[in-house]
Amino acid sequence: MLKRKIELEFTEYDDFNELDPADQHLVNEARRAVGHAYAPYSDFKVGAAVLLENGNIIIGSNQENAAYPSGLCAERVALFAAKSQFPDQKIIAVAIATAAGEITGEPIAPCGGCRQVFAEYGDQQPSEIVLLLAAGNLRVSRFEDARILLPGRFSWKDLKKGR
């Protein structure tokens, strides 16, 4: 028998001004995107901003629907839009934010489905996707590699094993 341990390392910024200016800008773009959210059912508005290698920033927000599963999270809206328009561009970083004052103090936590999508795009490129998770009060958690948010994930490589 072997006990294994998975560790997750990230940096917490209590002071927004301690963040690198480029990270601050990306978080601010995600906060701007919150204003475009369509969330009449949950009333929980989320914004995301994807920075590409060419400098473009693609924003997205959560889009809900009366047929609940038809909606989509902000980060997947932004990631899919970025990858649809710029399929060959590397993703440098992604910021996710909620409306000011939402869930006071705690940076937003992406859902499992979004973590899976981050991980797969991360696998497809040579450099890591930095992830910035912002709280309503602007406390920010910074992950150097978005893939660590979903250890032991399912991947296409697993599907192809043994073929």
- Select 115 or 162, whichever has its Cβ closest to ligand THU: 115
> On the CB side of 32, how many CA atoms lie within 13 Å of its CA?
12
Count CB neighbours of 102 within 10 A.
17
Short-list 112, 73, 116, 119, CA closest to 96: 73
- CB of 28 or CB of 39, closer to ligand THU: 39
Considering only residues 84-103, where is the footprint of ligand THU by CB under 6 A?
Answer: 96
**73 is a site residue for ligand THU (CB under 6 A):** yes
Identify the residue among 44, 81, 116, 137 touching ligand THU (CB under 6 A).
44
Check if the beta carbon of residue 154 is closer than 8 Å to that of residue 117: no
- Which region among 1-9, 13-21, 105-113, 147-155 touches ligand THU (by CB under 6 A)? 105-113
Contact criterion met (CB below 8 Å) for 60 and 47: yes
Catalytic residue check, 75: yes
Choose between 1 and 67: whose C-beta lies nearer to ligand THU.
67
Rounded to whole angstroms, how far apart are CA atoms 134 and 23? 11
| Residues near ligand THU (CB under 6 A) | 39, 42, 44, 46, 62, 64, 71, 73-75, 96, 108, 110-111, 114
